[in-house]
């Protein structure tokens, strides 16, 4: 009888410990983080890539581990995850803005860096300073703080970034170009000698075309889109000149045949990677993510490809354009604010989390100290080069008219590249006229 009782007790104990082990595993599911029976329930809108729906196993493993740590630290709380639909950034951001306006926003959210300004401007985001500490706030690169800081308070954590470069075939090109004229000459030379595309970039009708290929050239000439009152000035004075020059260079690339007119329809890396794989292109302007993609598709990437800063009008000019995603707390409840901020710091924002996450995701960290202290970033030549480029970083302005200016510039670029017009000045005047009319209607 005693034996039987002991056996039952052991079985019960085994079952209980099994449940306990199983609970650890179940702490993070694709749509829930934490104890399912928790008293405090937070909601979060997160991009698919930062949930257990992420595309690769190493990303899923990272999220599972980091989110579980938060869940263990807060057994009385859980996060219900709203997974944002893939490829619907504008729609997701517009929905979040509507929810925030009507008081139904999730407690925290993953917000594209060129949308976060609108959330901060409208007062939907909460300060994170007290949850981060001053040192952490100061550690972020200046271009991120230009957007997410308001009155000395950090309103969102810019979790990762990227940068734009000129990738070139180092086995064909001895001296990579530093100016626009050198780029066109070299592209034409490659086209003639090797029979390949001289230069490729994604210049189709989309945000990436201007963010990757117009703004870095525009900013390098000290161009500004808006004045301190938020009034569009992109088509006035020296700004007009900078934009005319930048669009003129891209038009010249196509008009001279240095780049094929096909670039006016490219809106993703895939067509360029296809040409890279077929040894059919000499230079490609694209983001910091491209190097790993090249490494994935060709065996001898290190021997064939290298990257340098984007060529500018003059050799001594330099500017970059940097994207990425931010995380902001939208809840009015102080308890939830603290819990949400803790999740963001544990998974994205702390030094340790950012260093680990950016390695797994092939992103660039936005905290300067990581480039100094983490050997992966401080000892790797390629990472050092990428980190240095962030010194010249620029973020798209947090002005609610940015999308209008961007859209108008994309349309003008398409018209210029495909020969629908040759009058660059008139196109820039039209951008200014339209943007100004929007500003006057909304002020």
Partner 1 sequence: MNKNIMERWWIWVIPLALVLGVFFLYPLLNVIRLSFSNATITSIKEGFTFENYIHILTGSDFWQVMKVTLIFVFASVLFQLLLGLITAMLINKDLFGSSLVKLSMITAWVVPGIITGVIWSIMYSSSSWGILNYFIRLLGFNQIPFLYTPSWALFSVVLANVWRGTGFSGIMQYAALRGIPDQLYEAASIDGASTWQQFWNITLPQLKPMLMINTILITIYTFNTYDSIFALTQGGPGNSTTVLSLGAYKQVFRHLNLGRGSAYAVIMLILSGSFTILYAGFMGSDQ
Binding site residues, partner 1, CB under 8 A: 87, 90-91, 94, 97-98, 100-101, 118, 122, 204-206, 260-265, 267, 270-271, 274-275, 278, 280, 400, 403-404, 407, 410-412, 414-415, 417-418, 420, 430, 434, 437-438, 441-442
SS3 of residue 389 by DSSP: helix
β-strand partners of 140: 367
In the complex, least distance from residue 271 CB atom to partner 1, rounded to whole angstroms:
4
In the complex, least distance from residue 395 CB atom to partner 1, rounded to whole angstroms:
18
CB contact set of 432 (below 8 Å; sequence gap of 6+): 232, 233, 234, 235, 236, 240
Helix 424-442 with 402-417: angle, nearest 10 deg: 160
In the complex, least distance from residue 242 CB atom to partner 1, rounded to whole angstroms:
22
- From residue 400, give the alpha-carbon distance in Å to each of 92, 118, 121, 405, 432: 16, 6, 9, 10, 15
- Cβ proximity to partner 1, 373 vs 418, nearer residue: 418
- Cβ proximity to partner 1, 150 vs 359, nearer residue: 150
CB contact set of 144 (below 8 Å; sequence gap of 6+): 113, 158, 161, 322, 324, 366, 393, 395
- Cβ proximity to partner 1, 275 vs 356, nearer residue: 275
CB contact set of 232 (below 8 Å; sequence gap of 6+): 225, 226, 401, 405, 432, 435, 436, 438, 439
Cβ neighbours, 10 Å, residue 278: 10
SS3 of residue 76 by DSSP: coil
Euclidean distance between CA atoms 222 and 337, whole angstroms = 39
In the complex, least distance from residue 202 CB atom to partner 1, rounded to whole angstroms:
11
- Cβ proximity to partner 1, 264 vs 337, nearer residue: 264
- Cβ proximity to partner 1, 278 vs 380, nearer residue: 278
In the complex, least distance from residue 87 CB atom to partner 1, rounded to whole angstroms:
8
- Cβ proximity to partner 1, 273 vs 339, nearer residue: 273
Tokens read off for 28:
């993070």
In the complex, least distance from residue 86 CB atom to partner 1, rounded to whole angstroms:
10
Burial (CB < 10 A; 0-12, 13-18, 19+), residue 125, is buried
In the complex, least distance from residue 123 CB atom to partner 1, rounded to whole angstroms:
10
- Cβ proximity to partner 1, 58 vs 280, nearer residue: 280
């Amino acid at each position: 009888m005693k034996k039987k009782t002991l056996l039952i007790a052991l079985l019960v104990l085994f079952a209980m410990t099994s449940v306990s082990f199983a609970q650890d595993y179940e702490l993070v599911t694709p749509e829930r983080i934490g104890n399912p029976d928790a008293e405090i329930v937070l909601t979060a809108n997160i991009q698919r890539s930062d949930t257990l729906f992420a595309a690769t196993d190493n990303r899923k493993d990272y999220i599972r581990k980091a989110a579980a740590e938060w869940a263990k630290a807060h057994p009385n709380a859980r996060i219900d995850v709203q997974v944002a639909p893939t490829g619907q950034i504008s729609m997701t951001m517009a929905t979040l803005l509507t929810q925030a306006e009507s008081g139904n926003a999730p407690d925290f959210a993953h917000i594209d860096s060129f949308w976060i300004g609108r959330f901060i401007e409208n007062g939907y985001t909460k300060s994170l300073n007290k949850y981060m500490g001053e040192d952490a706030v100061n550690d972020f690169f200046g271009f991120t703080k230009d957007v997410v800081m308001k009155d000395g308070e950090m309103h969102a954590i810019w979790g990762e970034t990227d940068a734009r470069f000129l990738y070139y075939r180092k086995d064909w090109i001895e001296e990579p170009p530093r100016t626009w004229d050198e780029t066109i000459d070299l592209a034409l030379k490659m086209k003639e000698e090797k029979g390949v595309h001289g230069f490729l970039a994604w210049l189709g009708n989309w945000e990436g075309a201007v963010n990757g290929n117009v703004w870095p050239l525009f900013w390098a000439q000290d161009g500004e889109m808006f004045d301190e009152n938020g009034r569009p000035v992109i088509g006035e004075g020296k700004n007009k000149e900078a934009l005319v020059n930048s669009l003129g260079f891209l038009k010249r690339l196509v008009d001279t045949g240095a780049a094929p007119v096909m670039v006016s329809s490219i809106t993703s890396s895939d067509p360029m990677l296809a040409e890279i794989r077929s040894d059919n292109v000499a230079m490609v302007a694209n983001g910091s993510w491209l190097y790993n993609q090249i490494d994935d598709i060709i065996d001898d990437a290190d021997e064939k490809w290298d990257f340098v800063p984007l060529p500018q009008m003059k050799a001594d000019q330099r500017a970059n354009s940097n994207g990425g995603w931010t995380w902001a707390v939208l809840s009015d409840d102080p308890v939830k604010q603290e819990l949400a901020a803790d999740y963001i710091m544990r998974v994205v924002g702390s030094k340790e989390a950012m260093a680990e996450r950016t390695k797994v995701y092939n992103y660039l960290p936005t905290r300067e100290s990581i480039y100094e202290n983490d050997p992966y970033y401080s000892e790797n030549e390629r990472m050092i080069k990428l980190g240095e480029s962030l010194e010249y970083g620029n973020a798209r302005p947090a002005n609610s008219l940015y999308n209008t200016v961007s859209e108008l510039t994309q349309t003008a670029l398409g018209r210029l590249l495909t020969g629908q017009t040759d009058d660059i000045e008139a196109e820039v005047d039209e951008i200014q006229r339209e943007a100004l009319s929007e500003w006057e209607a909304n002020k």
